[in-house]
Chain A
Amino acid sequence: MEFNSSPSYIMHIDLNSCFATIEQQANPFLRGKPVAVAAFTSPGGCILAASVEAKRLGIKTGMRVRDGRAIYSGLIVLPSDPWKYRNVHLKLRKLIADYTNDFSPKSIDEFVLNLKDYPALEDSPIKVVAQEIKDRIRSEIGEWLTVSIGIAPNRYLAKIAAGLRKPDGLDEINKDNFLSVYSKLKLTDLTGIKARNAARLNGMGIYSVLDFYQAPIWRLKAAFHSITGFYWHARLSGYEVDDIEFGRRSYGNSVALGKNLSKIEELSPILARLTEKMCGRLRGARYCAGGIHLMLTFKNGSWWHKGRLLIQPYFDSRDFYKAAFKLLIEADPKTPVLNIAVSCFGLTRNRCLQLGLFEDVDKKRDLVTALDSVNERWGGFTVGSARSFGGAKIVMDRIAFGGVKELEEFTLNSG
């Protein structure tokens, strides 16, 4: 397959060191200093974002605060402030909408734009448009905010191009330079190729990105044992295979526990809080769910999970909690739990539910609707189960990693 010779219409925008840079934008005294935003500021807290200055010292996302401070004792560690980041996301979204309505947020700090046939490209080449977007972000949202922009004929290569130079990069991968770009990359520099996939490719005699591009499709299919090999070939040849938006199939909430908790009576308030949070979002989108899933990961590295179909689709948090609590009893944790994740699946619209023989479903729905109205007026968890209030200090507002679905919710709610 020849490399796609059509012009580059896809732009990938990546806000550099998102949370940390936004904190530096908000507080000018933090600018130019190594800053980290962490889930918890205590030594065991996980670093969610490191500023450009911190990254230069070797401090990375995913490190513990204590490890970051071991590298640089003067590291400034801040707790996360979700609404600050969500608002910057919304401002970026608004700015991008001036150029195209064919765009999608990939996470809180990443957007993909398709500019094909949009007026923005009528007067200016795509690189000029990209530079204009960078300039406008600085002048209209915050002068400390920088983005790396990648341009390519497809989404995948646009993302790779955005990662070529950070911070503040602007690069294009096209038919004229792709060989030169590929020759400078390692296999594991490619998004989606980590140690295991690299080993698969090595097994077929593919050791570099150039080998990967030049490999015949049959060899790639053999390496991945599926059609995936063809998709990789198309991606690296500049053809679009990632223009797919997946619909929502579940709702879930999870929390990392800062404390050593393993008893059912300690975990159940947290589970109740998570379940209520999840159900509030489920009902807000006018869904019922026909199944529930619980996952526990333990501090010793092991994990337990189980999903169960419910006897009928539910909408009431109490029903979901009962089912989730049964799963927690089954899990019977013996060692401290690191993470609890509860989710519901089998989504259906909640218009016509089976009437119950022993309970009045309409009455139950009216009660739940009334409680949701109170919470909507006065703020989440103004009214909730007494049990769930025990989990309030642990289940806090967080931004999910890659939480594109969560972004849809707050975008709708912010209007």
Chain B
Amino acid sequence: MAEAIDEKVTVGMSDFPKWVKWRARVHKIEKVGLHYTFREGRVLYHIFSVSTKTLAMKLRFDTETLGWRLEEVSDGI
């Protein structure tokens, strides 16, 4: 089941996201399923659909504020 989160997170990057720190816990990213972009006005957002061993996450990177947000978490059920 997918759950909307919309919380600020810290993400470790090296070409692609490697880990996410969410609610004081670090989640190691196993796979980047899809990376895509869109614009709202002139602001470019990068979306990374990533998965850990147990969760799928949708991460949004704002190229204007350089901040990350966790938009959604899903367990695939």
Contacts and interface: CB of A to CB of B under 8 A. Distances in A.
A28 B52 CA distance: 10
Interface stretch (A158-166, A281-289, A295-303, A373-381): A373-381
Contact of A28 (B2, B47, B56, B77): B56
B56 A87 contact: no
Contact of A83 (B33, B47, B51, B76): B47
Contacts of A83: 36-38, 47
A280 B2 CA distance: 33
Interface residues of B, number: 21
A29 interface: yes
B4 to A, nearest CB: 11
Interface stretch (A19-27, A48-56, A147-155, A216-224): A19-27
Interface string B27-57: 0000101101111111100010101000010
A27 B77 CA distance: 11
Contacts of A88: 34, 36
B2 A22 contact: no
Given A33-B76, A83-B47, A84-B47, A25 B34 contact: yes
B21 to A, nearest CB: 21
What secondary structure prevails in chain B residues at the interface with A? strand
A28 B75 CA distance: 10
Interface in B1-26: 2
B34 A142 contact: yes
Contact of B41 (A26, A33, A142, A377): A377
Nearest to A41: B2
B45 to A, nearest CB: 9
A33 B77 CA distance: 9
Nearest to B45: A83
Contacts of A95: none
A354 interface: no
Contacts of B47: 83-84
B42 A26 contact: no
Interface residues of A, number: 25
Interface in A10-57: 22, 25-30, 33
A382 interface: yes
A28 B31 contact: yes
A115 B25 CA distance: 52
B63 interface: no
Contact of A26 (B33, B37, B39, B75): B33
B33 A25 contact: yes
B38 A78 contact: no
B41 A78 contact: no
A177 interface: no
A408 to B, nearest CB: 17
Given A375-B41, A376-B42, A382-B41, A29 B36 contact: no
13 contacts: A26-B56, A27-B33, A27-B74, A76-B76, A83-B37, A84-B36, A84-B47, A375-B41, A376-B41, A378-B41, A382-B41, A414-B37, A414-B39
- Which 4 A-B pairs give the minimum distances between C-beta atoms? A29-B76, A87-B36, A26-B49, A379-B41
Interface of B: 2, 31, 33-34, 36-43, 47, 49, 51, 56, 58, 74-77
Interface of A: 22, 25-30, 33, 76, 78, 83-84, 86-88, 142, 375-380, 382, 413-414
Given A27-B76, A29-B74, A375-B41, 12 more contacts: A26-B34, A29-B56, A29-B76, A29-B77, A78-B2, A84-B49, A376-B42, A377-B41, A379-B40, A379-B41, A379-B43, A414-B37
